Amino acid sequence: MFENKNSRTELSDLGEFGLISHLAANIKSKNLKTIKGIGDDCAVIDRGDHFELVTCDLLLEGVHFDLSFYPLKHLGYKAVMVNLSDIYAMNGTPERIVVGLGLSNRFSLEAGEELYEGMLLACDRHNVDLVGGDTTSSRSGLVLSVTAIGSVAKESVVYRSGAAENDLICVSGDLGAAFAGLQILNREKKVFIENPNIQPDLSGFDYAVERQLKPEARKDIVGALKSNDVVPTSMIDISDGLASELFHICVASSKGCRIYEDKIPIDVETVAIAEELNINPTVAALNGGEDYELLFTIRQSDFEKVKAITGVSVIGYVTAESAGLALIDKSEHETPLKAQGWDGLKMRQE
Amino acid sequence: MFENKNSRTELSDLGEFGLISHLAANIKSKNLKTIKGIGDDCAVIDRGDHFELVTCDLLLEGVHFDLSFYPLKHLGYKAVMVNLSDIYAMNGTPERIVVGLGLSNRFSLEAGEELYEGMLLACDRHNVDLVGGDTTSSRSGLVLSVTAIGSVAKESVVYRSGAAENDLICVSGDLGAAFAGLQILNREKKVFIENPNIQPDLSGFDYAVERQLKPEARKDIVGALKSNDVVPTSMIDISDGLASELFHICVASSKGCRIYEDKIPIDVETVAIAEELNINPTVAALNGGEDYELLFTIRQSDFEKVKAITGVSVIGYVTAESAGLALIDKSEHETPLKAQGWDGLKMRQE
């Protein structure tokens, strides 16, 4: 009614990263203690003897989750995990979260309790306090906003921007399973919609479904790096897929990279699901997202130390920027990588 | 599809405060540095030489704002202000915010820019850094989540729980105007819907409309208290209406109160609008909300110092808990106060 419509640029033309960098372009930190603002997994604030880390993630119904197959307890758990993962990606320790929760009247108190149960379980496992928040009604879907606060020793903070030429590229766990699990859940949902008498059949897909519904932030990897005396040169968590995160590290570090297809860790169940659904498992790993594993680079001199850590794979190395980003496939062909990670401004779920 | 439906308690039976206290009942802080978790305007964290303050507010389209009359720039401004107001209510200084933003495709880049412009203007005025956040698509309405972080000297932190018998009850600015402004905006919206050729007529209502659309967090009052060497015994910001906030202070402090109707500061424009719309202006002040003024209690010995601060009214005093909460009206009758502040789980806007 009082709207002022001038020029109009569609958000879908920009994509999530385009929007963020456009909006962030005008933002300058006024406060000297703000070491790092927008542009990494967390904001970094100087607290004298240590750095404080702050990160925020919004989870919206219909975009980030589908309540028809998402148990609320799992959703609460995941909402916390995706934030803790950002703190670990800075090599930090999460300490506290605050939660904004928008519930519509279709939810009951018991539903709210289930959500909180999941959040508190995640907090317990990571020794984090839920210290506050805001609960309100929502006219549309369920809205979950989690802000996590953590800390890191000043000499241990790891940004996206520190990768150097010839550093080794490492990844924790395995990739693509959360994406494969989502495909299975979506398939079973379709079956269920067509015939509500048929119960969802998830047998044989336990691992992939759990990776989608109940991801674990890699506290253990950050701990193992520390106890093996390794500070990565750069790090990021894998929320949007390996390719997209490699781009973030390479752009922030002004570098290129080579990764080897046969070194990318993919679970056998993911491979089986991918074959069944006629998806290339490497594409699931590169572009699927929601793995919440850690992608990091290390100096070559740290290779032996990292080799001692269970569940870390070396998948490639950092090159000069001019070499670009490429995947060396199983037949030794080099293909340029594309950052087609999930675009938050298009819709994820069907 | 995998839902487990057992007993069901409707959220509307509990209300926002009921829900929060129910859910918070199971939450215990594990970390010794968490001084105060849920239950005040901010969480309080021990940072060695000072306390850190953290607060989060969720603003959802259709619940907290109506975009048909809410310019996006104002909305961004207000989203930041309501959070800064919580930091000031702890007698603190805001330092940083992180923002979660959910935009649907009906918004353009320019709309996102307008929102950010408002947020950054609010940050500038209060010397706050916008250090990070999350931008995502929304399938439903606009979602804005702001988390503010601030600090306060340990000896200056003010909780809701510190009010003592015979303390004086003070309020900054005037009350009820934001509510009156909202009524005017809703009225003009109806006129506009009925006849889109009629332009909204807001003349003569500038102050009330601005109080609704562009509230100001009372940094100046916190500054004036400090420079007059006054630390309130308790404090809260008025987001849900004077009555509701008095209940929060009295319950947290185990006290009662007496406030005088003729001492409640109400602007002449609010009175005029209330008369025009056949609303009791005192009710607007008690239950309207969104004033973002500060309600605080002081020791009687600080009365002269507070009298020196422009724009602060003494409206009553703290009693023993057994005396309950009451309003003494203009004909000197005592009426029990009811905490019928806005209930976030019912819908605010028509």
pLDDT band at A4 (very low <50, low <70, confident <90, very high): very low
Q: What's the pLDDT at A345?
A: 35
Mean pLDDT is lowest, of A11-25, A48-62, A161-175, A239-253, for A11-25
Nearest to B35 by CA among B179, B146, B159, B186: B159
3-state SS, one letter per residue, for chain A: CCCCCCCCCEHHHHHHHHHHHHHHCCCCCCCCCEEECCCCCCEEEECCCCEEEEEEEEEEECCCECCCCCCHHHHHHHHHHHHHHHHHCCCCEEEEEEEEEEECCCCEHHHHHHHHHHHHHHHHHCCCEEEEEEEEECCCCCEEEEEEEEEECHHHCCCHHHCCCCCEEEEECCCCHHHHHHHHHHHHHHHHHHCCCCCCCCCCCHHHHHHHHCCCCCHHHHHHHHHCCCCCCEEEECCCCHHHHHHHHHHHHCEEEEEEHHHCCCCHHHHHHHHHCCCCHHHHHHHCCCCCCEEEEECHHHHHHHHCCCCEEEEEEEEEHHHCEEEECCCCCEEECCCCCCCCCCCCCC
Summarize pLDDT for B125-180 with one digit per residue, the tens: 999 999 988 888 888 789 999 999 999 999 999 999 999 999 999 999 999 999 99
Q: Does B6 touch chain A (CB under 8 A)?
A: yes
pLDDT band at B41 (very low <50, low <70, confident <90, very high): confident
Spatial separation of the C-alpha atoms in residues B242 and B342, rounded to whole Å: 11
pLDDT band at B350 (very low <50, low <70, confident <90, very high): very low
Chain A residues touching B107 at Cβ < 8 A: 11
Contact B10 A141 (CB under 8 A): no
Summarize pLDDT for A332-348 with one digit per residue, the tens: 999 999 866 444 333 33
Residue-averaged pLDDT of chain B: 88
Q: What's the pLDDT at A6?
A: 55
Spatial separation of the C-alpha atoms in residues A349 and A336, rounded to whole Å: 27
Mean pLDDT is lowest, of A15-29, A92-106, A155-169, for A15-29
Chain B residues touching A184 at Cβ < 8 A: none
Q: Does B112 touch chain A (CB under 8 A)?
A: yes
The C-alpha of B260 sits at a distance from chain A's nearest C-alpha, in angstroms, of 31
Contact A24, A38 (CB under 8 A): yes
Spatial separation of the C-alpha atoms in residues B212 and B74, rounded to whole Å: 10
Helix, strand, or coil here: B249? Answer: helix
Q: Kindly give the pairing relationship between strand A93-103 and strand A143-152.
A: antiparallel
Set out the domains of chain A in order of their start, with CATH numbers. 31-156 (3.30.1330.10), 160-336 (3.90.650.10)
What is the complex's ipTM, to 2 decimals?
Answer: 0.83
Backbone angles phi, psi at A58, to 5 degrees: -105, 130
Spatial separation of the C-alpha atoms in residues A123 and B222, rounded to whole Å: 34
Q: Does residue A225 carry a pLDDT above 80?
A: yes
| Neighbour tally for B326: CB within 10 Å | 17
Residue-averaged pLDDT of chain A: 88
Beta bridge partners, A327, equal A259, A335
Q: Does B138 touch chain A (CB under 8 A)?
A: yes
Mean pLDDT is lowest, of B101-105, B166-170, B270-274, B318-322, for B101-105
Q: Does A96 touch chain B (CB under 8 A)?
A: yes
The C-alpha of A162 sits at a distance from chain B's nearest C-alpha, in angstroms, of 20
Contact B234, B158 (CB under 8 A): yes
Q: Does B62 touch chain A (CB under 8 A)?
A: yes
B220-234: b (≥16 Cβ within 10 Å) or e = ebbebbeeeebbbbb
Contact B23 A108 (CB under 8 A): no
The model's pTM is 0.87
Show the tokens assigned to B251: 């319950």
Q: Does B21 touch chain A (CB under 8 A)?
A: no
The CA-to-CA distance between both ends of chain A, in Å, stands at 33
Q: Does residue A10 carry a pLDDT above 70?
A: yes
Q: Kindly give the pairing relationship between strand B255-260 and strand B325-328.
A: parallel
Spatial separation of the C-alpha atoms in residues A150 and A96, rounded to whole Å: 7
Nearest to B69 by CA among B209, B239, B277: B209
pLDDT band at A3 (very low <50, low <70, confident <90, very high): very low
Which B residues 211-240 touch A at CB under 8 Å?
none
Cα B73 to chain centroid distance, Å, stands at 19
Q: Does residue A56 carry a pLDDT above 70?
A: yes
A177-194 and A206-213 helices, crossing angle to 10°: 100
Most confident among A190-194, B94-98, B340-344 (mean pLDDT): B94-98
Which A residues 23-52 touch B at CB under 8 Å?
23, 26-27, 29-31, 33-34, 36-38, 42-43, 45, 47-49
The C-alpha of A140 sits at a distance from chain B's nearest C-alpha, in angstroms, of 6
pLDDT band at A33 (very low <50, low <70, confident <90, very high): confident
Mean pLDDT is lowest, of A21-30, A144-153, A307-316, B84-93, for A21-30
Mean pLDDT, residues A247-268: 97
The C-alpha of A7 sits at a distance from chain B's nearest C-alpha, in angstroms, of 7
Spatial separation of the C-alpha atoms in residues A186 and A192, rounded to whole Å: 10
Q: What's the pLDDT at B225?
A: 97
Q: Does residue B347 carry a pLDDT above 70?
A: no
Q: Look-up: residue for tokens 């001038």? A: A6
Summarize pLDDT for B42-92 with one digit per residue, the tens: 999 998 889 999 999 999 998 888 888 888 999 999 999 999 999 999 999
Spatial separation of the C-alpha atoms in residues B42 and B343, rounded to whole Å: 20
Q: Does residue B341 carry a pLDDT above 50?
A: no
Q: Does A120 touch chain B (CB under 8 A)?
A: yes
Helix or strand (DSSP H, E) at B235: strand B234-237
DSSP one-letter code for B26: T
Contact A147 B20 (CB under 8 A): no
Percent of chain A with pLDDT over 90: 68
Chain B residues touching A8 at Cβ < 8 A: 108-110
DSSP one-letter code for B167: P
Contact A38 B132 (CB under 8 A): yes
Chain A residues touching B103 at Cβ < 8 A: 11, 345
pLDDT band at B26 (very low <50, low <70, confident <90, very high): low
Q: What's the pLDDT at A287?
A: 93
Q: What's the pLDDT at B191?
A: 83
* Shortest CA distance from B12: residue in chain A: A105
Beta bridge partners, A46, equal A51
The CA-to-CA distance between both ends of chain B, in Å, stands at 33
Summarize pLDDT for A169-185 with one digit per residue, the tens: 999 999 999 999 999 99
Q: What's the pLDDT at B196?
A: 78
Spatial separation of the C-alpha atoms in residues A302 and A128, rounded to whole Å: 30
Which residue from A132, A136, A189 is facing B43, i.e. has the nearest CB?
A: A132
Spatial separation of the C-alpha atoms in residues B50 and B86, rounded to whole Å: 18
Mean pLDDT, residues A194-211: 84
Q: Does residue A258 carry a pLDDT above 70?
A: yes
Show the tokens assigned to B221: 């009052």
Which A residues 247-286 touch B at CB under 8 Å?
none
Q: Does A344 touch chain B (CB under 8 A)?
A: yes
